[in-house]
Structure formats: structure tokens, C-alpha cells
Amino acid sequence: MDANPSAILAELLRARGLSVTERGDGSVAATNPLHPLVGEAVGTINGSYLTNYGYELGEQGDERATADRVAFLLGVPRGSAALSLKGGPGPVREHRGIRGLDQESRS
């Protein structure tokens, strides 16, 4: 059974922390979950993954590198803090207030 390359790409994009919608025409729409207006539609023509603007992102068969490029273009590089918010790999840091400012805000 051959896997659908667009479905593979969609899963890899989700794994990188992007919100993904698979379209009926075989393309996928990916958005940055922290900035929903930042997004891109990616489809295939002649074995190449292209954006709506005709920017070539990769070739079918190399979905991992294509997913990395899409994530980078949408501001979610692999291993970023945005992935931590989605439960993926990446540093999560506890925020602690500045002692002097915290005490001033309480008074």
C-alpha cells in the first residue's frame, strides 16, 4: 500500500506544531497556531511541493525536509518554544517575576 505524500506531509507539519487542514484537492493548508494569520497552502505539481505563490519547497519523497521548510517559513522552526506549547520537544521555562517589581505591584 502506497502512502499519500500529502497526508505524510500533513502529519509531519502537525508534529512540528503547525495547525493543518488537508484539502480535497490534495494540498494542505498550514498555519502558525500562535499567529493564525500566518499560513501557507502547499500543493504538488510535477512531483514538487509548491506554495500558492509558486515557491518550491521540496520534492515528493522528501516530506521531512519540506515540513522543516514550511515550519521555518511560518515562524515555527523545529525545536522552538511553540512546539513546547503543543506538547512537543523544546524548552519550557518557568516565568518568575522580578522580586522588587512583584513586591511593588502588591502594595
Question: What tens digit of pLDDT does each residue of 8-37 get?
Answer: 999 999 999 999 999 988 899 999 999 989
- pLDDT the model gives residue 103: 43
What distance in Å separates the CA atoms of residue 38 and residue 25, rounded to the nearest whole number?
A: 21
- pLDDT the model gives residue 55: 92
- pLDDT the model gives residue 28: 96
- pLDDT the model gives residue 43: 94
Which segments of the chain have a pLDDT < 50?
1, 81-107
Instruction: State the total domains in the chain.
Output: 1
The whole-model pTM stands at 0.70
- Owning domain of residue 74: 5-106
Count of CA atoms in the C-beta half-sphere (13 A) of 64: 0
- pLDDT the model gives residue 48: 95
The one-character DSSP state at 1 is -
- pLDDT the model gives residue 77: 67
* 43, 58, 66, 86, 106 from 51: Cα distances, Å: 6, 10, 11, 25, 51
DSSP H stretches of helix in 1-107: 5-15, 63-73, 81-85, 99-106
